[in-house]
């Protein structure tokens, strides 16, 4: 199968390119690093002929620094996706695999001892200042217990990146309905692994911790380190993209959590990396960022059932490798 892969030279995209090639597919790469911008319709048109499926990884990532980032997020993630989908329609390419994200959910799933399953509002800054980091029940104000979130959860994006990733899903669904195409959105959870970008304001927490350790600094863990996440290895994410090539139904968008199914806290991740590198040990700072969510834990069961995808790289194995793997 001929695959047009956007973001092919990026952290995740480069691993997807390798996995596609190993699976016997022909890969045509489109990447800003090679001078091809997904927002450039002419550049996309030059690469689209002959493609049977588009795997769309290109995106501006991270939570953003402030509202000044909004135009770039909208331009790359929303407009760029619109340009790509329009080109697919022009060239009769009827299958899309979209790199989405768990950030579309906002906070994860929670249970209240009194009221059962609830979706909390954004955490109040007054609580964060006082060091109370757990979301409260929207009905009684009590602390909650986190639960696994499924693909049918309501969408609740809480920052610019999240909003644009959800917009990508909506655009892909529009394209599928109007063209009869097949769209699959892979909602990546916290991806880490070799070639992850180094510490920048837009980096993921794993890269920030790893960069600090490499420089001999203690990783600075925000809040109390108890934030629960699902850390999924980039090679598993690449395998999920290969598995998604034949998934979905015409005229629809299907979404899947891509996760390990083995949640850990941010503090545990920092401690694992520090131990593998021989220190220094992490420092818990109590700092916070508005827009961050407390817990987001995935249920990967639907991907297992419908894509045949199950993560193969466990937390311990992955952190041992990542502690000394080359960064991007």
- Residue 288 CA to residue 133 CA, distance in Å, equals 9
Q: What is the structure's pLDDT at 66?
A: 75
Residues in the chain: 328
Q: What is the structure's pLDDT at 64?
A: 64
Cis before 280? omega within 30 = yes
| Phi, psi for residue 184 in degrees, rounded to 5 | -125, 125
Sort 279 into a burial class: Cβ within 10 Å, 0-12 / 13-18 / 19+.
exposed
The number of C-alpha atoms within 13 Å of 249 and in the hemisphere containing its C-beta is: 3
CA 30 from chain centre, in angstroms, equals 20
**DSSP track, 178-243:** HH--EEEEEEE-EEE-TT---S-TT--HHHHHHHHHHTTPPPEE-TTS--EE-EEEHHHHHHHHHH
Per-residue pLDDT of the chain (328 residues; tens, 9 = 90+): 999 999 999 999 999 999 999 999 999 999 988 889 999 999 999 999 999 999 999 999 876 667 888 999 999 999 999 999 999 999 999 999 999 999 999 989 999 999 999 999 889 999 999 999 999 999 999 989 999 999 999 999 988 899 999 999 999 999 999 999 999 999 999 999 999 998 766 568 999 999 999 999 999 999 999 999 999 999 999 999 999 999 999 999 999 999 999 999 999 999 999 999 999 999 999 999 887 889 999 899 999 999 999 999 999 999 999 999 999 8
Q: What is the structure's pLDDT at 292?
A: 86
Smallest CA-to-CA distance from 137 within 158, 154, 121 is with 121
Tokens standing for residue 96: 């899309």
Sign of CA dihedral 293, 183, 152, 230: negative
Contacts of 209 (CB under 8 A, 6+ apart): 219, 221, 269, 270, 273, 274, 282
């Amino acid at each position: 199968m001929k695959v047009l892969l956007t973001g092919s030279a990026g952290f995740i995209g480069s691993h997807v390119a390798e996995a596609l090639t190993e699976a016997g597919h022909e890969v045509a790469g489109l990447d800003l690093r090679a001078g091809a911008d997904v927002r450039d319709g002419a550049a996309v048109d030059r690469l689209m002929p002959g493609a049977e499926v588009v795997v769309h990884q290109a995106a501006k990532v991270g939570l953003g620094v402030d509202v000044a980032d909004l135009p770039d997020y909208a331009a790359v993630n929303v407009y760029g996706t619109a340009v790509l989908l329009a080109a697919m329609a022009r060239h009769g390419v009827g299958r899309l695999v979209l790199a989405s994200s768990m950030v579309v959910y906002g906070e994860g799933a929670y249970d209240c001892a009194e009221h059962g399953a609830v979706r909390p509002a954004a955490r109040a800054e007054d609580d964060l200042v006082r060091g109370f980091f757990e979301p409260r029940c929207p009905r009684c104000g009590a602390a909650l217990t986190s639960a696994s979130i499924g693909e049918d959860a309501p969408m609740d994006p809480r920052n610019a990146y999240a909003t644009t990733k959800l917009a990508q899903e909506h655009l892909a669904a529009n394209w599928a309905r109007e063209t009869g195409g097949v769209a699959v959105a892979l909602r990546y959870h916290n991806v880490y692994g070799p070639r992850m970008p180094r510490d920048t304001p837009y980096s993921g927490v794993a890269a920030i911790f790893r960069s600090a350790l490499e420089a001999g600094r203690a990783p600075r863990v925000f809040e109390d380190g108890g934030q629960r996440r699902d850390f999924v290895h980039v090679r598993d994410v690449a395998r999920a993209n290969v598995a998604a090539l034949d998934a979905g139904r015409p005229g629809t968008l299907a979404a899947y959590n891509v996760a390990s199914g083995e949640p850990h806290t941010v503090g545990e991740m920092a401690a694992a990396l520090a131990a593998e590198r021989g220190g220094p040990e992490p420092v818990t700072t109590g700092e916070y960022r508005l827009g961050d969510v407390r817990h987001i834990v995935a249920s990967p069961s639907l991907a297992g059932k419908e894509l045949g995808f199950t993560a193969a790289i466990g937390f311990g194995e992955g952190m041992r490798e990542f502690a000394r793997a080359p960064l991007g």
